[in-house]
Amino acid sequence: MKWKYMIVILLIMGLQLSPVMAKEFAPVGTSVAQFLEIAQDARGTGMGQAYTALVFDASSVFWNPAGIVGVNGKSMFLGYNQWVADINFGSFSFAWNFGSAGAIALSGVYLFTPDMDVTTVMQPEGTGEKFSLSNHSFGLTYARKLTNKLAVGVTLKSVREYYYFHGYTTWAFDVGTVYHTGFRGLKIGMSILNFGPEIRYNFAYIDYSNPRSYKEGKSVRFDKFSLPVNFRVGFGMNIIQLESQKLLIAGDMVHSNNNIEFYNLGLEYNFKKMFFLRSGYRFNLDEGGLTLGLGVKFPWLDGRLGQIDYSFSDRGVFSGIHRFSVGFDL
């Protein structure tokens, strides 16, 4: 049976690494709630976001909701990163595993910015007013093992996004599955994230590209936009498997409705299940692609384990992104 698994691996790797033969059109900026696409977990981002098939703790809800079946009892995750332009992101998740009854998790992602000047066409230097952004999403996840090798999960979440007076509140859901083959730790995962209805920003605005609108002062309604739906498929397996050391390779293909396809490849070196070094590369990005990371596990609270992770992501002409996350068994 091993040869069948090897065929699966080769097919997935072929998808991951196949060269782009022609420059594709990237429909960037055609969906809302872009903050939902920014990864939170420092372990996953350290591995180039090749993480769909590997995550089995409370942070699973941000990658593949089926992964929370791997939680041992109760688990907590907290993440933070500072994006470009001083935009701050935070995330959290609490997961409980009830064994054969399945596992549940509560999670959230939030974005906030410093105060910014309000400018208009007539007052490009500012009106004297200030505004800031405060976007967030909260989710409830349920996952369950269908067999000892196959698990599925789903997340239902709210999404809120506001810019000054304009914004919306809507709902979305994620669905995922993961399959354990049993061969060298090979896992195959798939998830669909941020699937929901089209939305329209509230209120109306003066359209300065429309002479009738700005000359007559007639406000127009916003167009409808979709959420940033992402389809992810990936694998992960051990290429070195020793008593005190392990080397893991992983790959993901990410198809988005508002961008071209991304191909992620990652490695993780594990020493005595306590110390971790990571590296990855994201192919097909406009800027950057290299990622690096490290992590450490430590005992706490009656012998339970905690983990601290850090990652750095190259963003080309933009500043590099530093991420920190912590996780605890409760």
- Give the range of the structural domain holding residue 321, as residue numbers without chain letter: 2-15+27-329
In this predicted structure, which of 25-39, 41-55, 76-90, 287-301 has the lowest mean pLDDT?
Answer: 25-39
Give the C-alpha separation, 111 to 35, whole Å: 7
In a domain, 22, yes or no: no
Q: Apex CA 152: angle with CA 291 and CA 97, to 5°?
A: 85
CATH code of 279's domain: 2.40.160.60
Q: What is the pLDDT of residue 4?
A: 46
Q: How many Å apart are CA 304 and CA 294, to the nearest integer?
A: 20
Q: Is residue 161 part of a domain?
A: yes
Number of domains in the chain: 1
Average of pLDDT values for 80-97? 89
What is the percent of the chain where pLDDT is above 70?
92
**Model confidence pLDDT, tens digit, residues 165-224:** 788 999 999 999 999 998 989 999 999 999 999 999 887 777 777 777 777 777 888 888
Distance of CA 51 to the CA centre of its chain: 9
Is 220 inside a domain boundary? yes
According to the model, what pLDDT value does residue 118 have? 86
Per the structure block, which two tokens stand in for 156? 């239902």
Q: What does the pLDDT read at residue 267?
A: 97
The per-residue pLDDT of the chain, averaged, comes to 87
Which residue has better confidence, 302 or 216? 302
* Residue 20 belongs to some domain of the structure: no
Highest mean pLDDT among 93-102, 113-122, 253-262: 93-102
pLDDT value of residue 25:
61
* Residue 21 located in a structural domain: no
Q: In the structure, what pLDDT confidence band is assigned to residue 330 with cuts at 50, 70 and 90?
A: confident
pLDDT at 191 (0 to 100): 96
Reading the block at residue 9, the tokens are: 């691996």
Identify whether 253 is part of a domain: yes
pLDDT confidence bin for 137, thresholds 50/70/90: very high
Higher pLDDT, 37 or 132: 37
β-strands 74-82, 88-97 pairing: antiparallel
pTM, entire model: 0.87
Q: Give the whole-angstrom CA distance, residue 226 versus residue 124.
A: 30
What pLDDT is stored for residue 26 in this prediction? 67
- Bridging pattern class, strands 290-300 and 262-271: unpaired
| Residue 107 belongs to a domain | yes
What pLDDT, in 10s, does the model give residues 1-28?
444 444 444 444 444 444 443 445 667 7
Can you say how many angstroms the Cα of residue 119 is from the centroid of all Cα atoms in its chain? 32
C-beta of residue 41 within 8 angstroms of C-beta of residue 62: yes
Q: How does pLDDT run across 142-157, given as a tens digit for each residue?
A: 999 999 999 999 999 9
How far apart are alpha carbons 330 and 322 in whole angstroms?
27
- How much is the pLDDT for 24? 57
Tell which wins on pLDDT, 130 or 78.
Answer: 78
Q: What is the pLDDT of residue 22?
A: 41
Q: Is residue 83 part of a domain?
A: yes
Give the residue carrying structure tokens 């609270």: 301
